[in-house]
Amino acid sequence: MLVTDETQFSKRASQFDLCAYLSTRQEQVEAALDRSLPVIYPEQIYEAMRYSLLAGGKRLRPILCLATCELMGGTIEMAMPTACALEMIHTMSLIHDDLPAMDNDDYRRGKLTNHKVFNEAVAILAGDGLLAYAFEHIVEETQNVPPDRLMKVIARLGRAVGAAGLVGGQVVDLHCEGACDVKIETLNFIHAHKTAALLEASVVSGGIIAGASDADVQRLSQYSQAIGLAFQIVDDVLDITSTQEELGKSVGKDLRAQKVTYPSFWGIEESKRQAQQLIEQAKSEVAGYGDRALPLMAIADFITARTH
Amino acid sequence: MLVTDETQFSKRASQFDLCAYLSTRQEQVEAALDRSLPVIYPEQIYEAMRYSLLAGGKRLRPILCLATCELMGGTIEMAMPTACALEMIHTMSLIHDDLPAMDNDDYRRGKLTNHKVFNEAVAILAGDGLLAYAFEHIVEETQNVPPDRLMKVIARLGRAVGAAGLVGGQVVDLHCEGACDVKIETLNFIHAHKTAALLEASVVSGGIIAGASDADVQRLSQYSQAIGLAFQIVDDVLDITSTQEELGKSVGKDLRAQKVTYPSFWGIEESKRQAQQLIEQAKSEVAGYGDRALPLMAIADFITARTH
């Protein structure tokens, strides 16, 4: 790119209306999720699955999947069943993580958690049902996508949620609870598996559906790993800064009391710098695609914008 | 078939050495399961998954899958990853069913249940990991099978384990616990979903992998639904007759105290008759395939042979 082109590209990037983009996509995803899971007999299990699946949230994973599918020349329609499946998998991980045997949370996003509304048995089964249905839904509902691409998507999703992904990250996280000698490598492992693995599957699967080359998939994978880690660092930073404001605790005291986070290794300023660097790295991976990459670039920026 | 052919076929069927057949297949399945899941970091989750996956059992689902694949002209190798996936799914359902929030069982097949050896959180995650890995394993390990066939297998497996299968059956079963007004339609629903759905997926997926026609799949489906229901009826009968022998309780008393079972609707003799009728029906579905169907016919007979 020439310098003038680059300047114009930066200008268009800064003018891209991410808010409108996210809001349109979110509506489309909500409608598709609502249609994906009708209530039939035995009603309670479908209601339990729907309760958590339709409990709101940013729908970041489906939106990323749709965005990369479009970026690589595919359509929203081609990727929508996979986008919904990603949200089903994400929802199952939230339902199971909230269980008494795990994080024992009563509320999520201001609503009672699944096992508080139904019961533990139903919540476990609702998670299992969503996970199984995710794979069925991709196969049954996807149209105009060659089966070999869908096979790759299914393998990626399976890996992202299993012991080599979400499940593995959660196990290590549970082990580290209350431990004071957690290494940064372990923290990286937890977040690479608990957060980044499914984000990567979301971004990459959209590309695969559209027929992305191995080189494209590699770029998308780098992009998603970088935003995944940045997302977690920013989350850790916000956790501390909001505690500071709300409780007036000193940061040093908070860091000592806190479970292990990135700021506990790097401090707040260095954490912010690392997050910003990861975002720049993510954007540089997709900048070469030009205007079609504007949504992915804006989503990356959106992540660090939260620190300000 | 001429009468003489039929007589000879019956003779060959009665001479078929099911014991040797099952034992060979079981060894092959055990070896494949052992290879399917190596232990890597974080070790505990892989050990928890392996603990239950390799805890023995008849391996009936994988063996049925391999048998129908051969019946329809395919090879053991083509179906082995799917056979292993079926056992992974079955194992996940056992681990989750045994949890304190569900059936709260401390022992299974004479060994401590997963959550007693590890803990509840790890047991939930081990189940999730096995379910996710089942789909990944099929895609990553299957060779020489066209992707459109594998897609059908994945959709069938997803449906068999989700709210339209195992999960739905378990939810209704939990609701009926302690209820005295359970209808036979409800009992049929529970067993059609908790037991027969995954048996059907096992039988049908082997056929699909080998390229079975829709008509063949239909026959295999009928066969598996019949043996699935017969299996449950026989289980119910054995439950009562063994109680009678061991505790010397009168059957009538036992029936009143017992949770709802087929003998509680039909009595023991009629239940046995119904099971036998289902087995004859199952065998008649596959008899037309001749000698290649001997394993499926012998497996069907094996189910009612348990009543004697």
How many angstroms separate the CA atoms of B31 and A196, rounded?
A: 34
Number of A–B residue contacts, CB under 8 Å: 153
Tokens read off for B189: 């629903």
User: Quick check: B102 and A119 CB within 8 A?
Assistant: no
User: Quick check: B131 and A128 CB within 8 A?
Assistant: yes
CATH code (residue A72): 1.10.600.10
User: Quick check: A42 and B127 CB within 8 A?
Assistant: no
Query: If you search the block for the tokens 């994978």, which residue do you land on?
Result: A221
Question: What's the pLDDT score for residue A252?
Answer: 47
From the list B92, B121, B151, the residue facing A150 with the nearest CB is B151
Give how far B308 is from chain A: nearest CA, Å.
Answer: 36
User: Quick check: B155 and A136 CB within 8 A?
Assistant: yes
Go through chain A and tell me how many residues it has.
Answer: 308
Is B102 part of the contact surface with chain A (CB cutoff 8 Å)? yes
Mutation pick from B171, B193, B209 vs chain A, by most beta carbons of A within 10 Å, is B171
Is A176 part of the contact surface with chain B (CB cutoff 8 Å)? no
Kind and range of the H or E run holding A111: strand A111-112
Phi, then psi, of B113 in degrees rounded to 5: -70, 165
| CB-CB contact of B263 with B237 (8 Å) | yes
Number of structural domains, chain B?
A: 1
Question: What's the pLDDT score for residue A304?
Answer: 78
Provide ipTM, 2 decimals: 0.93
Mean per-residue pLDDT, B127-151: 98
Residues of chain A below pLDDT 50: 247-250, 252-254, 256-257, 307-308
How many angstroms separate the CA atoms of B111 and B50, rounded?
A: 14
Question: What's the pLDDT score for residue B246?
Answer: 56
How many angstroms separate the CA atoms of B69 and B52, rounded?
A: 26
Mean per-residue pLDDT, B184-212: 96
Going by pLDDT thresholds of 50, 70 and 90, the confidence category of residue B8 is: confident
First and final C-alpha spacing in chain A: 31
Beta strands, E only, A19-109? 107-108
Give how far B148 is from chain A: nearest CA, Å.
Answer: 6
Indicate if the pLDDT at residue B303 is higher than 90. no
Q: What is the dihedral of CA A65, B166, A31, A292, to 10 degrees?
A: 10
User: Quick check: A124 and B133 CB within 8 A?
Assistant: no
Is A170 part of the contact surface with chain B (CB cutoff 8 Å)? yes
Q: Which residues contact B247 (CB under 8 A, 6 or more apart)?
A: none
| CB-CB contact of B127 with B134 (8 Å) | no
Going by pLDDT thresholds of 50, 70 and 90, the confidence category of residue B243 is: low
Q: Taking Cα atoms as reference points, which of A211, A195, A174, A172 lies closest to residue A78?
A: A211
Go through chain B and tell me how many residues it has.
Answer: 308
Q: What is the pLDDT of residues B25-75, one digit of tens each?
A: 999 999 999 999 999 999 999 999 999 999 999 999 999 999 999 999 999
Is B119 part of the contact surface with chain A (CB cutoff 8 Å)? yes
Q: What is the pLDDT of residues B258-268, one digit of tens each?
A: 578 899 899 99
* Chain B neighbors of A49, CB-CB under 8 A: 163
| CB-CB contact of A286 with A71 (8 Å) | yes
DSSP state of B193: I
Tokens read off for B282: 């199952």
Residue of A nearest to B41 (CA): A168
Is B157 part of the contact surface with chain A (CB cutoff 8 Å)? yes
Q: Which residue has the higher pLDDT, B125 or B240?
A: B125
Tokens read off for B2: 């001429």
* Separation in Å, CA B23 to CA B18, B29, B293, B297: 8, 10, 18, 17
Indicate if the pLDDT at residue B226 is higher than 80. yes
Question: What's the pLDDT score for residue A49?
Answer: 98
How many angstroms separate the CA atoms of B87 and B74, rounded?
A: 20
Question: What's the pLDDT score for residue B260?
Answer: 81
Computed from CA positions of residues B41, B45, B47, B49, in that sequence, does the dihedral angle turn out positive or negative?
Answer: negative
* Chain A neighbors of B139, CB-CB under 8 A: 151-152, 154-155, 158
Which of A:125-144 have CB within 8 Å of B?
Answer: 125, 127-129, 131-137, 139-140
CA A221 to chain centre: 13
| Residues of the domain holding B221 | 1-305
Q: What is the pLDDT of residues A106-154, one digit of tens each?
A: 999 899 999 999 999 999 999 999 999 999 999 999 999 999 999 999 9
DSSP state of A101: T
Computed from CA positions of residues B49, B52, B56, B60, in that sequence, does the dihedral angle turn out positive or negative?
Answer: negative
Q: What is the pLDDT of residues A46-63, one digit of tens each?
A: 999 999 999 999 999 999
